[in-house]
Amino acid sequence: MNIRSIPGSPLEPLRHVHQPLVHDSATRHVQGTAAYIDDLREPEGTLHIACGLSPVARGALKGMDLDAVRRFPGVVAVFTSADVPGSNDVSPSIGGDPMLAEGRVMFHGQVLFAVAATTRDAARRAARLAKVEIEAETPVVSVDDAGRDGEKVLPDYAFERGDIEAALAASPHRINGMFRIGGQEHFYLEGQAAFAIPKEDGEILVHSSTQHPTEVQHVVAKVLGLPDAFVICEVRRMGGGFGGKESQATQWAAIAALAAHKLKRPCKIRLDRDDDFATTGKRHDMRADYRIGFDDAGRITAYDVDYLTRCGCSADLSQGVVDRAMFHSDSSYWLPVTRINTRRLLTNTVSNTAFRGFGGPQGMLMAERMIDEIAWASGRDPLDVRYANLYREGEDITPYGQKVSELGTMHALIRQLEATADYRARRKDIAAFNAASRIIKRGLALTPVKFGISFTLKQLNQAGALVHVYQDGSIQLNHGGTEMGQGLYQKVAQVVAEEFGVDMARVRITATTTEKVPNTGPTAASSGTDLNARAALNAAMTIKARMADHAASLWNCAAGDISFRDDRVFHGNDSMGFGELSKKAHLDRVQLSATGFYATPGITWDRAAKKGSPFLYFSFGAACAEVEIDTLTGENRLRRVDILHDVGKSLNPAIDIGQIEGGFVQGMGWLTTEELVFDAKGKLLTHAPATYKIPVASDLPADFRVALFPNTNRADVVYASKAVGEPPVMLANAVFCALADAVHALAPGTRVPLDAPATPEAILRACEAVQGRAMGGER
Amino acid sequence: MTQNIRKAIQFVHRGEVITLDAFSPRRTVLDWLREDMRLTGTKEGCAEGDCGACTAVVGRLKDGQLVYQPVNTCILLLGQLDGAELITVDDLAQDGVLHPVQAAMVAHHGSQCGFCTPGIVMSLFALYHEDMRPVTREAVCDALAGNLCRCTGYRPIIDAAMDACATGAADSFMAARATTQAGLAALAGPDDVLVGDESSFFAIPRSTDGLARLCLAQPDATLLAGATDVGLWLTKGLMELHKIIWLGRIEGFGAIEATADTLRIGAGASHADAHAHLAAIDPDLGEVIRRFGSAQVRASGTVGGNIANGSPIGDLAPCLIALGGTVELRRGAEVRTVPLEDFFIAYRKQDRRPSEFVAAVTVPKLRPGQQFRAFKVSKRFDEDISAVMGAFRLTVDGGHITEARIAFGGMAATPKRATRTEQALKGISLADEEGWRAAFDAIATEFQPLTDQRATASYRSIIARNLLLKALMEIAGSDGTRLVDRASTPHRHSGAAQRSPEPVAEPT
């Protein structure tokens, strides 16, 4: 462990770490010179691929007449499942994700075949000329269609603590309910893209917009029937990922690779936005059926929840996603007796996948609904019910057996936000406003975030890095993490520059490639920096130690007396440039290249026993949101949001604030305007930004106050920082709860049957319901 | 088109005049940039004009002055660049020095993944060149409504915009302004343009008479105004349009003429051009236009095109119907005028004959005693298509309603009047809320709306009723009926309207 990551040690100020340096690609982003897959200069002879998609959600694929497709001018080849030399499966887990449909279709938009043509336009036009014969069957579209005991992609799984039936029976108060939580389209601005270039002897280079280059490599190899070593996957950056390119970038890379392999020509695929919507998975939508027991103090005595989760047509990452919903079903609350059951339902819709938060948001939102239910039933302020149920000493074991660390952080953070957001005074003001306002009602909510950091699949908690120091003292940095805008490359570079004591300009960030660092996990689970910065730091420390030894030999001193700072190397008053030492070390045959490796220590999880400590630590946060709604239309505005968030000791406060604000707004979109609508035949009607509405600039609250909670990570994490990628999404729960609070103002004491997303229609439906009117016509 | 035909389009790019005499009439500016010119700074995010990643800026002379406006290049056709200057993100930095909006974006950490960033930079570049200082936060949000960012949550981008626009525009484009204006003036000649041949062409008539002749000669040609809808027929529908007549360079076709009683909007006027004039009739109408698409869409899309296209939702049509608007149609030398409500016959079917085109829309201004309200209800507040659009013009005398004109969008296959409700409102007292009941009973019988991805039928029906209630309450004098006050909505009249808020022509 690096000595400087020990909190409170007397050290010289850090030059790069903890500084708000700009994203490494910022100046290229603003000039349009940061290259994405489709910007790469195409080698002569490059072909473009478009896919033919199923117009039916479920049925037997009887035949495909592709003659017209093949005859279309510019078409070079058409590929079906029969053309796959290896395995026709792009699944990240247990299988069931055919690259090209084979025998049956499982969802509307499933890829049936791929067309390679000289232009993208020709490929797209040709793909629409296929005559497909499918014996259509009635699809299972929603979780209600599937039913509690419908077909599953994975077995049911539950956490249980205590005798739930007895606890419910003994509870002074009981509430039963159902809560629908919508899915979410990632809407990364750069759609799925891959570019495959054939090399010698069957080798292939795949540029892929993926969060998981290693999986792309392995799946491409499997599809082509090649050893992994024949395939290189490279990604310099993604135009956004959010989980949508964790497992589901693979199919496109594999299709491009198949065409390139067969045709011996470079082949590129870039999905049209509508096709991207149709063919790639979303955040899992869920229906939570719940029973709550609580006492006269508003404390939870029993919580029974049964999640019906729409996994789509295959398992994909649903095990991890739905498990994480369970891990976060407590939000920040002590559940003395609980049963958290999950049903992983198979539907004839696109296979749902990772999305920032990975199930956590759904688990936590339901817990906040539980708190609001208790508040509505007991006449208490919801914040007081939250306080009454927060984990505390002696009541700090999660339903899966991990002790919640940093209870002090959790409590202090929420108390601080309550004060800085002026919660109590505003609560009074809002009550006065609502009493005087007939049409417009305001609402307020303060909700906590506690998010467990680490992959719950243990083998993913490892990372590698490769660092080279060249003879001129310039440094090349490579690691297994991918850059999707989150600033990972910049943070890792800051750590490496800090270690070598050099200017940031010396550290050249290079594209992630399976050629340099093999066997990596996905950049996911908020863990990119925790894992990769540590691996890179380990590599840098190895080289630095060798350089220090060499400098010590030159100066005839102990290596411990050598220091690296200000872009130079010092021994007492003597110094030389970092480049000078690099050159000297090389001439003396010192190896200036090293790999680094890191595996998260100390985490345990026994899924079968449902016990362990799967998380290295927790990240905390809280948000306070004030909204107002129009009770005639359901339209709403966000008046003010206060956020206090814990990132430990921030590696880069500017980047971390960016993650917090961006995550919050993305979560807000999920809970308000972003509505996925499928028709009865399983076709996604909200298929593009014209119909699927993510937040725009004016959706931000006019008054938006975001602060970092001063903290330090007690776990052994690089420079005492904490992960930041996913937890802020759940700060948006405050917006949803505030909207419910505003509806509640229409009829205090009444339960608010507001489902997510809280679109204007959903809000109006809830307004009508609390006033005793049924709106009818639910989808 | 019998004489003076130019066989190529001409536009200014990077200080040079580009002349193109052979291209598919369907070619988009984005594909030309990325595929032909290999200028990949401009990105494709959605190919339907909704995300703004492809935003570039087009400079045109309006009343002799150079005006910069943002455009969605993914649905802008190449031929539409004729006579304009094209500026993309590739062109802003000079000798490695970032443009002020680029520098502000870097300084405020305004990019994360960077894919939306080129488009955002260009939208801010257009804002930077507007004659508006200080720039308000609302104006920035308005300028960015057509630019989706999925990473940042927008706060740093808004800060960057406020910072970059804290002082007046002073960049190389301002320095070159006179040269650019002269260059564009040199491209302003009166020649008609036809690129292609009789079977496949992109035609640019320059006079209304020329357009009328061309429409008679080519009855199967597609009339293209802003391409904000036709563009999607191409990028999403993959339609094989071979003959395109673009209406964007017809002298006087976008003229806006106001009399004491009416406003006549030439079909070629963009929403941006018409914004201030419509807002002058009523602030609600101004707000409807402000929420119309995005700055990019309003800069390209036209009032005439919006009407001619006949969307069942079209935010403008219900408003203009409620105001008693008429549409002027021309075929050859023959001109006829029809009430706007009669122009819409059925879903996407209008009363427009082959070779006939929309020449203008005329809107009566409000008379004393008349009050107007318009409400747009959509899933997202900005840059969304309405679930329901309700427009109300009530004439009030002595506290009683003497006449009502009410029209809705999103409630039927066409924008449609609520005639029974109008009848039921006649004679009612604004002071007696109980007496409004007959109107609510009437409106419940007017429409059988659909359930679609935007809203269910039951929601639409309740909204129609509630918007009527809201209009009546407001006209009766209630306040506290809105989330955003009627008078305080942020107005930012982009483009030409910003510079010439007075009517272009004021006939006697």
What would the mean pLDDT of B179-184 be, rounded to a whole number? 96
- Which tokens is B42 given? 């401009």
- Give A118 to chain B, closest Cα distance, Å: 13
Is A726 labeled as catalytic in the residue annotation?
Answer: yes
Closest Cβ opposite residue A240 in set B40, B151, B158: B151
Is the model's pLDDT at A389 over the cut of 60? yes
Q: Is A675 near chain B, with CB under 8 Å?
A: yes
Specify the range with the lowest mean pLDDT, choosing from A52-61, A65-74, B479-488.
B479-488
Q: Is B157 near chain A, with CB under 8 Å?
A: yes
CA B462 to each of CA A766, B384, B387, B419: distance values in angstroms, whole numbers, following the listed order? 13, 20, 12, 18
Percent over 70 (pLDDT), chain B: 95
Q: Choose from B24, B99, B115 for mutation: most chain A CBs within 10 A.
A: B115
What would the mean pLDDT of A173-189 be, rounded to a whole number? 98
Chain A residues 253-312 with CB within 8 Å of chain B: 272-274
Is the model's pLDDT at A218 over the cut of 90? yes
Q: Where are the alpha helices (DSSP H) in A305-353?
A: 318-327
Is the model's pLDDT at B259 over the cut of 50? yes
Shortest CA distance from A701: residue in chain B: B155
Q: Taking Cα atoms as reference points, which of A415, A284, A299, A290 lies closest to residue A361?
A: A284
Is the model's pLDDT at A774 over the cut of 90? no
Do B377 and A437 make contact, defined as CB atoms within 8 angstroms?
A: no
Do B107 and A22 make contact, defined as CB atoms within 8 angstroms?
A: yes
Give the rounded distance of the alpha carbon of B503 from its chain centre: 18
- Give A531 to chain B, closest Cα distance, Å: 20
Is the model's pLDDT at A9 over the cut of 60? no
Is the model's pLDDT at A301 over the cut of 60? yes
Q: Is A680 near chain B, with CB under 8 Å?
A: no
Question: Is residue A156 classed exposed, middle or buried when 0-12, 13-18 and 19+ CB atoms within 10 A define those classes?
Answer: middle
Is the model's pLDDT at B489 over the cut of 60? no
ipTM of this predicted structure: 0.97
Shortest CA distance from B146: residue in chain A: A696
Encode pLDDT of A436-452 as tens digits.
Answer: 999 999 999 999 999 99
- Per CB-CB distance under 8 Å, the chain B contacts of A356 are none
Length of chain A: 779
- Measured torsion, CA atoms of residues A112, A114, A115, A119, in degrees rounded to the nearest 10: 120
Q: Choose from A21, A22, A25, A31 for mutation: most chain B CBs within 10 A.
A: A31
Q: Is B73 near chain A, with CB under 8 Å?
A: no
Count other C-beta atoms under 10 Å from residue A504's C-beta.
18
The strands making up A59-65's β-sheet, listed across from edge to edge, are A104-105, A59-65, A131-136
pLDDT for B496: 36
Q: Taking Cα atoms as reference points, which of A643, A176, A283 lies closest to residue A448?
A: A643
Q: Is B204 near chain A, with CB under 8 Å?
A: no
- Rounded CA-CA distance A449/A730 in Å is 6
Shortest CA distance from A687: residue in chain B: B453
Q: Is A760 near chain B, with CB under 8 Å?
A: yes
Q: Is B141 near chain A, with CB under 8 Å?
A: yes
- Give A80 to chain B, closest Cα distance, Å: 23
Q: Choose from B92, B151, B311, B451 for mutation: most chain A CBs within 10 A.
A: B151
What would the mean pLDDT of B461-465 be, rounded to a whole number? 97
Q: Are A260 and A267 in contact (CB under 8 A)?
A: yes
pLDDT for A10: 43
Q: Is A33 near chain B, with CB under 8 Å?
A: yes
pLDDT for A12: 58
What's the CA angle centered on B422, arms B420 and B424, to 5 degrees? 70
- Give B155 to chain A, closest Cα distance, Å: 8
What's the CA angle centered on A259, arms A253 and A261, to 5 degrees? 95
Do B118 and A32 make contact, defined as CB atoms within 8 angstroms?
A: yes
Count other C-beta atoms under 10 Å from residue A531's C-beta.
32
pLDDT for A3: 37
Q: Which helix (H) or strand (E) holds A273?
A: helix A273-279
- Per CB-CB distance under 8 Å, the chain A contacts of B112 are 23, 485-487, 658, 662
Do B89 and A31 make contact, defined as CB atoms within 8 angstroms?
A: yes
pLDDT for B500: 33
Is the model's pLDDT at B4 over the cut of 90? no
Is the model's pLDDT at B499 over the cut of 70? no
Binned at pLDDT 50, 70 and 90, residue B71 comes out as very high
Is the model's pLDDT at B468 over the cut of 70? yes
Binned at pLDDT 50, 70 and 90, residue A354 comes out as very high
Is the model's pLDDT at B416 over the cut of 90? yes
Encode pLDDT of B220-253 as tens digits.
Answer: 999 999 999 999 999 999 999 999 999 999 999 9
- Give B460 to chain A, closest Cα distance, Å: 9
What would the mean pLDDT of A346-366 be, rounded to a whole number? 98
**A58 DSSP 8-state letter:** S
Average pLDDT, chain A: 96
Count other C-beta atoms under 10 Å from residue A654's C-beta.
18
What would the mean pLDDT of A535-557 be, rounded to a whole number? 98
Chain B residues 218-237 with CB within 8 Å of chain A: 236
Question: Is residue A762 classed exposed, middle or buried when 0-12, 13-18 and 19+ CB atoms within 10 A define those classes?
Answer: buried
- Which tokens is B92 given? 């802003």
Q: Taking Cα atoms as reference points, which of A624, A659, A32, A731 lies closest to residue B153?
A: A659
Q: Which helix (H) or strand (E) holds A277?
A: helix A273-279
What's the CA angle centered on B51, arms A483 and A271, to 5 degrees? 65
Question: What residue type is assigned to position A521 of the chain?
Answer: G
Distance, first Cα to last Cα, chain B: 33
Closest Cβ opposite residue A694 in set B38, B148, B484: B148
Average pLDDT, chain B: 93
What's the CA angle centered on A497, arms A495 and A498, to 5 degrees? 60
- Give B258 to chain A, closest Cα distance, Å: 33
CA B133 to each of CA A638, B99, B109, B173: distance values in angstroms, whole numbers, following the listed order? 27, 18, 23, 18
CA A476 to each of CA A541, A547, A615, B223: distance values in angstroms, whole numbers, following the listed order? 14, 16, 32, 56
Length of chain B: 508
Q: Is A645 near chain B, with CB under 8 Å?
A: no
pLDDT for A399: 98
Is the model's pLDDT at B433 over the cut of 70? yes
Shortest CA distance from B53: residue in chain A: A189
Encode pLDDT of B375-405 as tens digits.
Answer: 999 999 999 999 999 999 999 999 999 999 9
Shortest CA distance from B474: residue in chain A: A439
- Which tokens is B363 given? 């809107």
Q: Is the bond into A266 cis (omega within 30 degrees of 0)?
A: no
Task: Concatenate the DSSP letters of all residues of A168-180 into one string.
Answer: HHH-SEEEEEEEE
Percent over 70 (pLDDT), chain A: 98
- Per CB-CB distance under 8 Å, the chain B contacts of A665 are 152-154
Which residue of the set A185, A246, A368, A726 is catalytic? Answer: A726
- Rounded CA-CA distance A126/B415 in Å is 37
Do A30 and B469 make contact, defined as CB atoms within 8 angstroms?
A: no
- Rounded CA-CA distance A255/A274 in Å is 18
Encode pLDDT of A303-338 as tens digits.
Answer: 999 999 999 999 999 999 999 999 999 999 999 999
pLDDT for A215: 98
What would the mean pLDDT of A572-599 be, rounded to a whole number? 97
Binned at pLDDT 50, 70 and 90, residue B497 comes out as very low
Closest Cβ opposite residue B114 in set A25, A702, A775: A25
pLDDT for B492: 52
Q: Taking Cα atoms as reference points, which of B419, B373, B371 lies closest to residue B397?
A: B371
pLDDT for B309: 87
pLDDT for B488: 56
- Give B367 to chain A, closest Cα distance, Å: 29
